[in-house]
Amino acid sequence: MWQEFKQSIVVSIWFVFLTFPLMVVRVNTMEDLVEWRWMNIAWVAIASFLLSYLWRYMLARKQVRKKVEEEGGDTRSKLQIMLENESLRFKAMGVLLVAALVYPQIFDTYQTTIMISALIYVVLGLGLNINVGLAGMLDLGYVAFFGIGAYTFGILNHHFDVGFWMMLPVGGMVGCLFGVILGFPILRLRGDYLAIVTLGFGMILKVVLENWGSLTFGPSGIANIDKPGLFGLDLSLANHTIYIYYIMIALVVFTIIVTNRLKNSRVGRAWMALREDEVACIAMGIDMARTKLSAYALGAFWAGMIGVVFASKTTFINPASFTFMESAIILSIVVLGGMGSILGVILGAFILILLPEYMRAFSEYRMLIFGASMTLMMIFRPQGLISGLRQTYLYKGAKEEIDNG
């Protein structure tokens, strides 16, 4: 601590020295005067000291955590320990669900709309979490499946008037199908190569959407897509928003249940094994091609499905909605929240989607803040906000253990 304090003092003095000519001295050419703004130097000193101290403190903490881990100690945070307690987790989820259900009754249409887009990203994050977090396949073109789902609905709705409810599962299936088709060429790739090829998929989709005018209506997009129907009732705009909000809540719950079940199953364990060590994984009798394809296709399923909701919510889609930026945001949600952790991804989606909405004042600096916070995150907490919960199982020998503790 003392060490860090001293170093921070040095840094702050150094900064004062460096910025002195800029911050303090001002030559007023009109009156041939030199102004000395001594107050500024105090600000520089304090700010640089605090920043430097915080930086060092965080690094030191990370170091300590690493050391404890190497010695086999417990490095879980209090939050993490609480989350690993199953009954507590269920209670927390119950509270959250109730809060989510009353939300649109309390807040106005605008707030509800924002919340809908956050929920859309929750599902997207959970879907991508299967690829990236569980199976360890870095996918930079995830938005392709989102776009495919949205356009499948847009096109079929435009030409054949197919409704939302019909298309919701179909969108998922189509996403899944494309996941399998695009999955084959990437079976042998991993790491950076995989990232580059999937990045290409995203780019290709956008180019196709922009240029295949006869099918996709090109850059002008598809307008007047139907909103979800409710037994043929005519809903007002506000009510429709609330309706879509509830649909999204249901889909989020559905996604959480399904991805959680997948994660804690034979299939999910195979994904994780693949992420941990590919060679050991196949040597243990796991079919790599099948495992990778299933992860890729199931990740794509959610994107395809939620693409339908997106198209239906905005009633208008064009290629500009499906750029690399979207892939990057979804990936950031997974990385920020914590790879492989369902709760982490939900938290990540809320932070990354809601914060920019409520901080419109800083909207110019949005990407700057975004980039800086991701970088800081990687330096200080690479495992994300909430790292994957450890799954424990009940076996005969463990029953007493659990009763005691």
Partner 1 sequence: MAENKHKLLEVKGLTMDFGGLRAVDSVSLDVHEGEIAALIGPNGAGKTTFFNCVTGIYNPTRGDILLHPKEQKTRRLNGLKPNKVTEMGLARTFQNIRLFQGMTVLENVMIGRHCRTKAGIFHAILRGKTFREEEQQIVESSYQLLEKVGLGDSANEFAKNLPYGAQRRLEIARAMATDPLLLLLDEPAAGMNPQETSALDQLIVKISTEEKIAILLIEHDMKLVMNISDPVYVMEYGKKIAEGSPQQIKDNPKVIEAYLGEEADA
**Under the rule (CB under 8 A), what is the footprint of partner 1?**
69, 72, 258, 261-262, 265-270, 272-273, 275-277, 279-288, 294, 298, 388, 390-398
Nearest to 391 by CA among 134, 157, 166, 168: 134
Q: Are 223 and 154 in contact (CB under 8 A)?
A: no
Q: Are 338 and 388 in contact (CB under 8 A)?
A: yes
HSE value, Cβ hemisphere, 13 Å, CA-based, for 182: 28
Q: Residue 136 carries which side chain, given as an amino acid letter?
A: G
Alpha-carbon distances, residue 259 vs 96, 219, 340, 345, 362 (angstroms)? 18, 35, 10, 12, 35
Q: Which is nearer to partner 1, 265 or 375 (CB)?
A: 265
Q: Which is nearer to partner 1, 261 or 366 (CB)?
A: 261
Q: How far is the CB of 288 from partner 1 (least distance, A)?
A: 7
Q: How far is the CB of 267 from partner 1 (least distance, A)?
A: 5
Q: Which is nearer to partner 1, 60 or 398 (CB)?
A: 398
Q: Are 9 and 52 in contact (CB under 8 A)?
A: no
DSSP for residue 72: T
Q: How far is the CB of 289 from partner 1 (least distance, A)?
A: 9
Q: Residue 172 carries which side chain, given as an amino acid letter?
A: G
Q: Are 105 and 245 in contact (CB under 8 A)?
A: no
Q: Are 112 and 357 in contact (CB under 8 A)?
A: no
Q: How far is the CB of 248 from partner 1 (least distance, A)?
A: 20
Q: Which is nearer to partner 1, 2 or 393 (CB)?
A: 393
Q: How far is the CB of 175 from partner 1 (least distance, A)?
A: 15
Positive/negative CA dihedral, 198, 353, 168, 307: negative
Q: How far is the CB of 393 from partner 1 (least distance, A)?
A: 5
Nearest to 345 by CA among 131, 174, 189: 131
Q: Which is nearer to partner 1, 38 or 395 (CB)?
A: 395
Q: Which is nearer to partner 1, 69 or 108 (CB)?
A: 69
Which pair of structure tokens corresponds to residue 226? Answer: 């139907």
Q: How far is the CB of 276 from partner 1 (least distance, A)?
A: 4
- Cα 123 off chain centre by: 9
Q: Which is nearer to partner 1, 231 or 393 (CB)?
A: 393
Query: What distance in Å separates the CA atoms of residue 287 and residue 297, rounded to the nearest whole number?
Result: 16
